[in-house]
Amino acid sequence: MKLHYFGHAAFLLEGSRRILIDPFLSANPLCDVTEDSLPHADVVVVTHDHPDHLGDAFSICREHGAVLYSLHEIAVMAGQLGIQAEGMNIGGKISTDGLVIHLVPAFHTSPSGGVCGAIIEVDSLTVYHAGDTGLFGDMRLIGEIFRPDVMLVPIGDRYTMGPEMAARAVEMVRPKRVVPMHYGTWPAIAVNPATFQSLAEGYASVQILPPGTCLEC
């Protein structure tokens, strides 16, 4: 399994299935991948409908024939555009062909009002994409229940947790590995990931991925 990082909060899990998460590509200043050069996606997961997370999800689903998994309201919007979508809500899961997607809480805002994180279980790997969120105590419960192999955690501050609170989140979740995200895209979230690494490395193996690189999982 490979975890590709496209910058901001956009990732591609590539194994038996290709799963895109929060595909903010075309307007992402850190991303050098286009819809045309993107590997064929089977599944797209969206944590909320801010433009820097919903991104190119609808057009990718349309062009690739991918299925969108997201909060109910986002799935309804996609369905109205003729896109195949599966709506969910926090606490629920969908299982299909060896892939399990759970939606878990996140604390943030969005145009539609809904925000979530996602637990993705595929190819014997469990990935926790925390979405845009602040720190909250039930992250400890998420860690106890799902025991993530990889956690993708925002560190950019201002709109999400900063490095200090993100390190506390890692302390609570205790994944095997953690990848910082949602930083460096614009000046307002220009933090140094090394600060996060120094704070979190006692709780998990910290993997700082430059945009355009991947992690073997």
Is 206 a member of any domain?
Answer: yes
pLDDT per residue rounded down to tens, the chain (217 residues): 999 999 999 999 999 999 999 999 999 999 999 888 999 999 999 999 999 999 999 999 999 999 999 999 999 999 999 999 999 999 999 999 999 999 999 999 999 989 999 999 999 999 999 999 999 999 999 999 999 999 999 999 999 999 999 999 999 999 999 999 999 999 999 999 999 999 999 999 999 999 999 999 9
CATH number at residue 134: 3.60.15.10
In terms of residue numbers, what domain contains 123? Answer: 2-210
pLDDT of residue 122: 98
Is 15 a member of any domain?
Answer: yes
Instruction: Note whether 67 and 61 are within 8 A (CB).
Output: yes
pTM of structure: 0.98
pLDDT of residue 35: 85
Q: What is the 3-state secondary structure (H, E, C) of the chain?
A: CEEEECCCCCEEEECCCEEEECCCCCCCCCCCCCCCCCCCCCEEECCCCCHHHHCCHHHHHHHHCCEEEEEHHHHHHHHHCCCCEEEECCCCEEEECCEEEEEECCCCCCCCCCCCEEEEEECCEEEEECCCCCCCCCHHHHHHHHCCCEEEEECCCCCCCCHHHHHHHHHHHCCCEEEEECCCCCHHHCCCHHHHHHHHCCCCEECCCCCCCEEEC
Is 84 a member of any domain?
Answer: yes
Domains in the chain, number:
1
Is 217 a member of any domain?
Answer: no
Closest by CA to 22, choosing from 47, 39, 5, 1, is 47
Is 122 a member of any domain?
Answer: yes
Is 169 a member of any domain?
Answer: yes
Is 216 a member of any domain?
Answer: no
Is 180 a member of any domain?
Answer: yes
pLDDT of residue 36: 85
